[in-house]
Amino acid sequence: MCCTEKSLPTAGILEMGGASTQIAFLPTGNVLADKFPVRVGNVMYSLYVHSYLDYGQNAVVAKIRNILEREHPRDTRIENPCMMTGKIPVC
Residue pLDDT, tens place only, 36-88: 788 888 888 888 889 999 999 999 889 999 999 999 999 988 887 777 665 65
Identify the band that residue 90 occupies on the pLDDT scale cut at 50, 70 and 90.
low
Q: Output the pLDDT for position 1.
A: 40
pTM for this prediction: 0.62
Q: What is the DSSP letter of 41?
A: T
Q: Are the CB atoms for 49 and 14 separated by under 8 Å?
A: no
Measured between alpha carbons, how far is residue 60 from residues 17, 31, 91 in Å?
11, 28, 17
